[in-house]
Amino acid sequence: MRGTSVSAGAALQAFAAELYPICRSITGAGVRKTLRLINRRIELDWHEVPSGSKVFDWEVPLEWNIEDAWVGDADGRRVVDFNAHNLHILNYSEPVRTVLPLEELRPRLHSMPAHEDWIPYRTSYYRRQWGFCMRHRELASLPPGNYEVVVDSSLAPGSLTYAECVLPGRTKEEVLFFTHICHPSLANDNTSGMAIATELAAWIAGAPRRYSYRVVFAPGTIGSLCWLQRNQQRLGRVRHGLVLGLLADPAPFTYKRSRRGDCEIDRLVEYVTHGIDPRARVIDFEPYGYDERQLCSPGFNLPVGRLTRSVNDGYPQYHSSADNLALMSAGQLEQSLEACKRVVEVLESNRRYINLSPKGEPRLGKRGLYGAMGGRSPAERERAMLWVLNQSDGSASLLDIARRSGIDFAAVKLVADELEQAALLGSADATRRTPAAATRVAGAVPPSKSKKAAPSRSGRRKRQGIRSTGRRK
Ligand code: ZN
């Protein structure tokens, strides 16, 4: 990995470990506790959507909270205990207090026969029931007889909580990051996504921005539907988006394209992740996964892709107690954060230009544009300039030029700035008209310099502050 330090990965790992033990669900105290921890690091706007609210074809359910739950044998020993692991409860179990013979209890006990020592993660948000999840080995060893069953939970009118970090930029055009916050003690899915989205927001806040950014922390499905419903008027501003999750397991990156399939974010994330790790994969859109299912439903069809390592259901430990802190390495977390930062850097710098001297090649020498620069040989610099001049007819972006030429984005960006200063290029983007705006853009930095760039951004964070509108808690 380039441009990284052990401490940043260790910090991400420590924050993920703080989030890991919390019993989360799509509503309730666990979600709010999680958001409070995130709110210590970044400013969040909180939103509470009351139970019973209609959300498109869905309805916000009763709020679920849980104090304790267990199954006790004839000797009063807890054979399944929520306090030992929060995956032991079927998430959203209704309250119950009863005694049942094993044969009647058995259909309520869920296990993974293929992995006898793992506890499965199961939910029942919309069908009211109760149940427990346990290791298959322990389930198989339960003797016949009566068992005491206690689920000390509540399902009552309350609200669904989601929150977002809003970072205004020079334009109202928005970049959206989305991560799900509803899974209980599962590490990769999704304490990794929450930790990375938090650090990414803090980093973005530390420098001036062309785009406005919105980093949303919401329960899966019903949370993104609530967000979509409350933001319908603003969706036209969303220029690019990325769902983040499952970012700490050992697999290489997987980028899942937007439903549209040909958005700037699609080309850009493919370019960035492949540049970091040549094993990075790109898969096409499918209507299965995380919140891209809602964001890319045909009624919205937002330019939003998804970045993970393994995909949902794509690793053995998925949705089980084996998706624990041991599955997450500091190095994977840090590399994932680095990828997200580079996505932002390239988005911020990616532009379209028009060659202002398009008839034949302009003479570079008389404008002082020959010679070495930025650690590049005169020949490399000239080649990059010729590519940018040739392709800049207003249709190709700098990213398109980098991809077509094989020259790295940072070099393309560097020479485009020089050519613009020499009045050989003019902006083709409506959002960027003045030279003053150009100089304030956070430029992409070459990979070797990205380590230096990050502290300078975060160093400015104190002065810049994290601007957030309509904050309420
Ligand atoms: Zn999941």
For residue 230, give the H/E element and its range.
helix 222-230
Asked if residue 435 has pLDDT above 50, the reply is no
Are 166 and 52 contained in the same domain?
yes
Question: Taking residues 377-398, what's their average pLDDT?
Answer: 94
Cα distance from N-terminal residue to C-terminal residue, the chain: 39
Expressed in angstroms and rounded, the spacing between residue 318 Cα and the centre of ligand 1 is 7
The predicted-structure confidence for 24-49, as pLDDT tens digits, reads as follows 999 999 999 999 999 999 999 999 99
Expressed in angstroms and rounded, the spacing between residue 112 Cα and the centre of ligand 1 is 16
Expressed in angstroms and rounded, the spacing between residue 365 Cα and the centre of ligand 1 is 58
* 435: in domain: no
What share of the chain in percent tops pLDDT 70?
A: 89
Q: 307-332 in b/e burial notation, b at 16+ Cβ within 10 A?
A: bbbbbbeebebbbbbbbbeebbebbb
Question: Taking residues 185-199, what's their average pLDDT?
Answer: 98
* 1: in domain: no
Expressed in angstroms and rounded, the spacing between residue 416 Cα and the centre of ligand 1 is 43
Expressed in angstroms and rounded, the spacing between residue 215 Cα and the centre of ligand 1 is 19
pTM of the predicted model as reported, rounded to 2 decimal places: 0.89
Are 251 and 276 contained in the same domain?
yes
Long-range CB pairs of 360-369 (<8 Å, 24+ gap) are 361/386, 361/389, 362/389, 362/424, 367/422, 367/424, 368/422, 369/418, 369/419, 369/422
Model confidence at 374, in pLDDT bands (50, 70, 90)? low
Expressed in angstroms and rounded, the spacing between residue 188 Cα and the centre of ligand 1 is 9
Expressed in angstroms and rounded, the spacing between residue 93 Cα and the centre of ligand 1 is 18
Expressed in angstroms and rounded, the spacing between residue 63 Cα and the centre of ligand 1 is 20
Are 163 and 218 contained in the same domain?
yes
Expressed in angstroms and rounded, the spacing between residue 162 Cα and the centre of ligand 1 is 17
- Given 299, 327, 349, the domain boundary residue is 349
Expressed in angstroms and rounded, the spacing between residue 141 Cα and the centre of ligand 1 is 29
Expressed in angstroms and rounded, the spacing between residue 290 Cα and the centre of ligand 1 is 8
Expressed in angstroms and rounded, the spacing between residue 189 Cα and the centre of ligand 1 is 6
* 407: in domain: yes
90-99, 137-146, 243-252, 464-473: least confidently modelled range: 464-473
Are 206 and 327 contained in the same domain?
yes
Expressed in angstroms and rounded, the spacing between residue 329 Cα and the centre of ligand 1 is 19
Q: Which residue type, as a one-letter code, is found at position 150?
A: V
Three-point CA angle 166, 341, 176, nearest 5°: 35
Expressed in angstroms and rounded, the spacing between residue 359 Cα and the centre of ligand 1 is 56
Question: Taking residues 357-384, what's their average pLDDT?
Answer: 85
According to the model, what pLDDT value does residue 373 have? 67
Expressed in angstroms and rounded, the spacing between residue 180 Cα and the centre of ligand 1 is 9
Expressed in angstroms and rounded, the spacing between residue 23 Cα and the centre of ligand 1 is 14
Are 343 and 415 contained in the same domain?
no
At 239, phi and psi to the nearest 5?
-90, -35
Expressed in angstroms and rounded, the spacing between residue 325 Cα and the centre of ligand 1 is 15
Model confidence at 379, in pLDDT bands (50, 70, 90)? confident
- Given 156, 191, 223, the domain boundary residue is 156
What is residue 47's three-state secondary structure? strand
Expressed in angstroms and rounded, the spacing between residue 361 Cα and the centre of ligand 1 is 54
Q: Which residue type, as a one-letter code, is found at position 264?
A: E
Cis ω for the linkage preceding 190 (within 30 of 0): yes
Question: Taking residues 63-81, what's their average pLDDT?
Answer: 97
Question: Taking residues 445-458, what's their average pLDDT?
Answer: 38
Expressed in angstroms and rounded, the spacing between residue 61 Cα and the centre of ligand 1 is 19
Are 108 and 26 contained in the same domain?
no
The enclosing domain of 74 has a CATH number of 3.50.30.90
* 452: in domain: no
The enclosing domain of 330 has a CATH number of 3.40.630.10
Expressed in angstroms and rounded, the spacing between residue 183 Cα and the centre of ligand 1 is 7
Expressed in angstroms and rounded, the spacing between residue 396 Cα and the centre of ligand 1 is 38
Question: Taking residues 240-257, what's their average pLDDT?
Answer: 98
Long-range CB pairs of 67-71 (<8 Å, 24+ gap) are 67/152, 67/153, 68/150, 68/152, 69/93, 69/132, 69/150, 69/151, 69/152, 69/153, 70/148, 70/149, 70/150, 71/105, 71/109, 71/132, 71/147, 71/148, 71/149
Are 19 and 95 contained in the same domain?
no
Model confidence at 371, in pLDDT bands (50, 70, 90)? confident
For the chain, the residue count is: 473
* 451: in domain: no
> Minimal CA–CA distance to 330: which of 165, 446, 199?
199
Asked if residue 213 has pLDDT above 90, the reply is yes
Expressed in angstroms and rounded, the spacing between residue 247 Cα and the centre of ligand 1 is 12
Expressed in angstroms and rounded, the spacing between residue 320 Cα and the centre of ligand 1 is 10
Distance CA 420, CA 362 (A): 13
Expressed in angstroms and rounded, the spacing between residue 313 Cα and the centre of ligand 1 is 8
> Which residues sit with Cβ closer than 5 angstroms to ligand 1, an ion?
189
Are 81 and 51 contained in the same domain?
no
User: Residue 197 is part of which domain span?
Assistant: 6-61+159-349
Are 320 and 381 contained in the same domain?
no
* 415: in domain: yes
* 433: in domain: no
Count of domains observed in the chain: 3
- 1-5, 219-223, 431-435, 456-460 — most confident range: 219-223
Model confidence at 365, in pLDDT bands (50, 70, 90)? confident
Are 202 and 287 contained in the same domain?
yes
- Given 110, 135, 156, the domain boundary residue is 156
Expressed in angstroms and rounded, the spacing between residue 246 Cα and the centre of ligand 1 is 9
Are 57 and 77 contained in the same domain?
no
Expressed in angstroms and rounded, the spacing between residue 307 Cα and the centre of ligand 1 is 14
Asked if residue 117 has pLDDT above 90, the reply is yes
Are 77 and 139 contained in the same domain?
yes
The predicted-structure confidence for 295-309, as pLDDT tens digits, reads as follows 999 999 999 999 999
According to the model, what pLDDT value does residue 380 have? 87
Model confidence at 378, in pLDDT bands (50, 70, 90)? confident
Distance CA 1, CA 321 (A): 29
Model confidence at 372, in pLDDT bands (50, 70, 90)? low
Expressed in angstroms and rounded, the spacing between residue 291 Cα and the centre of ligand 1 is 11
For residue 330, give the H/E element and its range.
helix 330-349
* 436: in domain: no
Contacting residues for 278 by C-beta, under 8 A, at least 6 apart: none
Asked if residue 3 has pLDDT above 60, the reply is no
Query: What are the C-alpha distances in Å from 425 to residues 33, 111, 227, 356, 415?
Result: 51, 64, 40, 5, 10
According to the model, what pLDDT value does residue 454 have? 37
Distance CA 200, CA 178 (A): 12
At 227, phi and psi to the nearest 5?
-60, -45
